[in-house]
């Protein structure tokens, strides 16, 4: 039987949550992001998008485009709460459900139609429930698999509803730029561009053999994705958001060889990563540093800690040691990232160490900062070394 997958993506989630909670911002351009001017936009309300502001844009640029916008920090705890409540709504329609991120979820509703009616009706019911109960709008895509459903969800926004069936696939996919394909990053898009491939239709005409030779494992994905093929399952939801790893990365404003600048960037990334780990209730043992050089050569280095951690500074110390043991020669670094894996959830028994008093103190410090951030916003407290000089 053909599967039926529903992909739901909340519209301007971080900004919308604020507009729901604080009525004074409704109908106003709200730009959520940070911290600081070097931060990026996490979400822009549709009123702000009219000015050309979009997510992932540097904040300083957003200020130029929309000087009268309301610039606010992400309200982490509130967003978590809305995300959890949305999950509870989705769960009414299927047990097969996979949270992709805080504001995106994928549902397998193949078996739900007998109970809840045709797919479009299920989708409309979900949109209505999310709006009535949370005050938020959600864009929904329907498709024969996760890849197509995800792409369909991006078709119309906000509050969109798009269904792409298997027989419509070739026609709809062919004229799209390759960059629209899910799981395809800007680097691969550029490489395809250099090979003269800019639309999905052109990609469809390349043989699997050639793609594999050119892109390795990624080639196989490109071949299947360009045809809208994806057989990844939607597992049964066990009530937990399962992470195998969490990561943060940043493309630098300009390529650099300055280790101190890289280290400082890393400190900021580790701060945010630690905050996310604590928010989601995870600790990890393995710290991985990712470096992409100006020529797009990417390297990763890992170290295993003696105990799982969610402490910013412990993660930073490990990542920084990896950074300083690298030799880039004359090459400049374009992107730096850090990941924590080997995650265990809070509540997992942990063997205590005879020798560490440090992490306990650092952990309390991190938690105290989370508390301040959640009440007053991320601009109130920061490491001295991260404050603009």
Partner 1 sequence: MLKLACPQHALLEGVQIVSRGVSGRSTQPVQNNVYLEGRGRELRLVATDLEYLSLEALLEANVLEEGATTVPARILSEVASALPNEEVALEADETHGMNIRCGRSRYEIRGLSAADFTMLPPLEQAVRFEMPQGQLETILARTVFATSRDETRPILTGALFRIAEERLEVVATDTYRLALQTAPLEGVGDVTRSAIVSRRALTELARILDGDSPDPVQVAIGDSQVEFRLGKVTLGSRLIEGQFVNYAKVIPASYERRIIANIKELSAALHRALIVAREDANRVVLKTEGGTLKITASSQDVGHAEESIPVTLEGDDAEIAFNARYLLDMLDAVNTTEVVMELSGPLNSGAIKPVGDDTYLYVLMPMQIL
In degrees to the nearest 10, what's the CA dihedral of 47, 53, 56, 62?
A: -120
Rule CB under 8 A: say whether 113 interacts with partner 1: no
**Which one, 113 or 348, has the nearer CB to partner 1?**
348
Tokens 């500074």 belong to: 313
Rule CB under 8 A: say whether 238 interacts with partner 1: no
DSSP H or E stretch at residue 18: helix 13-21
Rule CB under 8 A: say whether 349 interacts with partner 1: yes
DSSP symbol at 249? E
Pick from 121, 346, 368, 372: which binds partner 1 (CB under 8 A)? 346
Residue 147 contacts by C-beta under 8 Å, 6 or more apart in sequence?
182, 183, 225, 228, 229, 230
Shortest Å, Cβ 355 to partner 1: 5
Q: Which stretch binds partner 1 (CB under 8 A): 37-45, 125-133, 161-169, 354-362?
A: 354-362
Rule CB under 8 A: say whether 355 interacts with partner 1: yes
Q: Which residues pair with 338 in a beta bridge?
A: 248, 289
For the segment 252-291, give every residue that binds partner 1 (CB under 8 A): 283
Pick from 209, 210, 299, 350: which binds partner 1 (CB under 8 A)? 350
Rule CB under 8 A: say whether 304 interacts with partner 1: yes
Q: From CA 256, how far away is CA 332, in angstroms rounded?
A: 5
Shortest Å, Cβ 346 to partner 1: 4
Q: Which stretch binds partner 1 (CB under 8 A): 28-36, 268-276, 324-332, 345-353?
A: 345-353
Q: Which residues pair with 9 in a beta bridge?
A: 104, 139
Q: From CA 319, how far away is CA 269, in angstroms rounded?
A: 10
Shortest Å, Cβ 195 to partner 1: 41
Pick from 101, 156, 348, 385: which binds partner 1 (CB under 8 A)? 348
Preceding peptide of 35 cis, ω within 30°: yes
Q: Is 104 a catalytic residue?
A: yes
Catalytic residue chosen out of the listed positions 37, 47, 104, 212 = 104
Q: Which stretch binds partner 1 (CB under 8 A): 196-204, 246-254, 344-352, 377-385?
A: 344-352
Exposure class string for 211-235: b at 16+ Cβ within 10 A, else e = beeebeebbebbbbbbebebeeebe
Q: From CA 34, how far away is CA 220, in angstroms rounded?
A: 37
Rule CB under 8 A: say whether 347 interacts with partner 1: yes
Pick from 1, 330, 354, 387: which binds partner 1 (CB under 8 A)? 354
**Which one, 298 or 356, has the nearer CB to partner 1?**
356
Q: Which residues pair with 157 in a beta bridge?
A: none
**Which one, 79 or 273, has the nearer CB to partner 1?**
273
Tokens 């949550």 belong to: 17
Q: From CA 94, how far away is CA 116, in angstroms rounded?
A: 10
Q: From CA 138, how far away is CA 127, in angstroms rounded?
A: 6
**Which one, 159 or 302, has the nearer CB to partner 1?**
302
Q: Using DSSP, state whether 388 is helix, strand or coil.
A: coil
Pick from 64, 207, 306, 385: which binds partner 1 (CB under 8 A)? 306
Note whether 219 and 195 are within 8 A (CB). no
Q: Which residues does the annotation mark as catalytic? A: 104
Contacts to partner 1 by CB under 8 A: 283, 303-304, 306, 308, 344-356
């Amino acid at each position: 039987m053909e599967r039926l997958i529903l992909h739901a993506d909340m519209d301007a989630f971080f900004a919308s949550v604020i507009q729901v909670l604080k009525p004074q911002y409704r109908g106003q351009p709200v730009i959520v992001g940070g911290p600081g001017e070097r931060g990026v936009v996490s979400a822009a309300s549709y009123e702000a998008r009219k000015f050309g502001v979009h997510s992932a844009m540097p904040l300083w640029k957003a200020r130029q485009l929309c000087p009268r916008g309301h610039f606010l920090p992400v309200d982490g705890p509130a967003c978590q709460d809305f995300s959890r409540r949305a999950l509870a709504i989705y769960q009414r329609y299927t047990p097969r459900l996979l949270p992709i991120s805080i504001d995106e979820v994928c549902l397998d509703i193949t078996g739900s139609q007998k109970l809840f009616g045709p797919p479009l009706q299920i989708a409309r019911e979900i949109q209505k429930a999310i709006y009535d109960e949370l005050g938020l709008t959600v864009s929904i895509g329907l498709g024969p698999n996760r890849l197509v459903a995800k792409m369909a969800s991006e078709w119309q926004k906000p509050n969109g509803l798009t269904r792409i069936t298997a027989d419509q696939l070739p026609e709809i996919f062919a004229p799209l730029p390759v960059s629209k394909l899910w799981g395809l990053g800007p680097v691969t898009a550029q490489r395809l561009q250099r090979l003269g491939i800019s639309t999905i239709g052109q990609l469809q005409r390349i043989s699997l053999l050639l793609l594999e030779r050119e892109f390795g494992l990624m080639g196989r994905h490109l071949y299947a994705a360009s045809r809208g093929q994806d057989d990844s399952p939607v597992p049964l939801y066990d009530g937990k958001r399962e992470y195998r790893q969490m990561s943060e990365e940043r493309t630098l404003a300009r390529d650099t060889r300055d280790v101190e600048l890289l280290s400082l960037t890393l400190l900021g990334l580790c701060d945010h990563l630690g905050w996310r780990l604590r928010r989601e209730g995870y600790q990890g043992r393995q710290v991985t540093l990712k470096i992409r050089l100006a020529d797009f050569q990417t390297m990763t280095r890992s170290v295993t800690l003696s105990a799982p951690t969610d402490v910013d500074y412990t993660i930073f110390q490990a990542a920084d040691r990896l950074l300083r043991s690298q030799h880039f020669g004359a090459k400049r670094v374009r992107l730096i990232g850090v990941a924590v894996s080997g995650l265990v959830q809070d509540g997992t028994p942990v063997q205590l160490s005879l020798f560490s008093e440090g992490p306990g103190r650092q952990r309390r410090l991190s938690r105290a900062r989370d508390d301040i951030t959640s009440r007053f916003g991320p601009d109130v407290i920061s490491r001295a070394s991260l404050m603009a000089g």
